Amino acid sequence: MKKLFYILLSFSFAFFSCQNNTESIRTAAPPKQKEAMELAPVFSADDKKLADVFKKYEGTWKGNYITIKDIDPLLRTSIDLENLKLDYVTKSGLTLMNNFEAEHVFTSKSPYFQEVSFYDFYPREKKTITTAGNNRVENGNIYRYLSNLKETITLNGTVKNDSTIVWQFEQEKPQRMEYYQETISEKSIEIIGYKYDELDRLDLGPKKWFYGKFVKEEPSKK
C-alpha cells in the first residue's frame, strides 16, 4: 500500500512538473499591501545575528504541492510532530486530496526583510490563488506574513539548522494550527507540513498533511 501511494505521489509530481517548466502560472498581481506587517520594521541590535537569514530563499521557485488526508491518524504522542519526515506523507492509510502547481518569488529588500509573492494554480478548479507578504526579522525573531483574498496570517519562524526553517501558526477560536518545515538547498526547496482545523482532535495525529517540492528557476540567458 505504501509503495503504491509513493508511486502515485511521484507520478503526480512528474506530471505537473512537465506542465509548469516553461510558462509562468501568474495571472494577477498580488493584492496591494496595506497592513503594518507589510512595512519593513525598524531593526535592532538583537536582529544582527539573523542578518541574511532569508538569503537562501532569494529568487523564483517553481514546483508542486499535494494535500493529503490521514483517514486513521495515530495518537499524537506516537509521532514526532516537530521533526517531520517524508515517511509521514507516504505511509499507508493516506488519501491524496488535491495537487496544484506553484510559483514562489522571494525578493530581498534588506538583510532583514524579504518580500514574497506566491501563485498557486489548482488545475481541478482551474483557478489561481495569489498571496503577497514578507519574511521579516523583528525584535530578534523571524516571521512570515501572508495575505490573500481568503485570509491574512502571521507565522512564527524558527531557524532549525543551516538549511531548514520551521513556520507555525496557532489560533484558539476557532481552533487552527499549522506547522511546516522548509528545507532549502542551492537548487531546491522541500516542504513538509500539517494542519489541525476546528473539529480535529488534538490528542490524535494530524488528519491534514501537505508536501511540496520546488526547483529554483535559472535566470534567462540573454
Mean pLDDT over residues 185-197, rounded?
96
Contact criterion met (CB below 8 Å) for 44 and 153: no
The grid coordinates listed for 15 are 506530471
CA distance 177 to 170: 4
**Amino acid 63: pLDDT:** 96
**Amino acid 8: pLDDT:** 45
Q: Which residues, listed in sequence order, are joined to residue 66 by a DSSP beta bridge?
A: 99, 211
Mean pLDDT over residues 96-113, rounded?
95
* List of domains in the chain: 2-216 (2.40.128.20)
The shares of helix, strand and coil residues in the chain, as percent rounded to the nearest 5, are 15, 45, 35
98-to-49, 88, 124, 147, 192 alpha-carbon distances in Å = 39, 17, 8, 22, 15
CA angle 98, 103, 108 (to 5 degrees): 140
Mean pLDDT over residues 129-149, rounded?
95
DSSP 23-38: S----SPPPPP-SGGG
Question: For residue 125, what pLDDT band results from cuts at 50, 70 and 90?
Answer: confident
CA distance 138 to 142: 6
Torsion region of 126: left, alpha or beta (phi above 0 gives left; psi -120 to 50 gives alpha)? left
Question: For residue 26, what pLDDT band results from cuts at 50, 70 and 90?
Answer: low
**Amino acid 162: pLDDT:** 92
Residues 6+ positions from 219 with CB-CB distance below 8 Å: none
Q: What percent of the chain has pLDDT over 70?
A: 82
**Amino acid 123: pLDDT:** 87
Examine residue 219 and say whether the peptide bond preceding it is cis (omega within 30 degrees of 0): no
pTM here? 0.84
Of 13-17, 147-151, 174-178, least confident by mean pLDDT is 13-17
Q: How many CB atoms lie within 10 A of CB 183?
A: 15
Instruction: Write the DSSP symbol of residue 185.
Output: -
CA distance 179 to 144: 12
Average per-residue pLDDT for the chain: 86
pLDDT digits (tens, 9 = 90+) for 200-219: 999 999 999 999 999 999 87
pLDDT at 98 over 70: yes
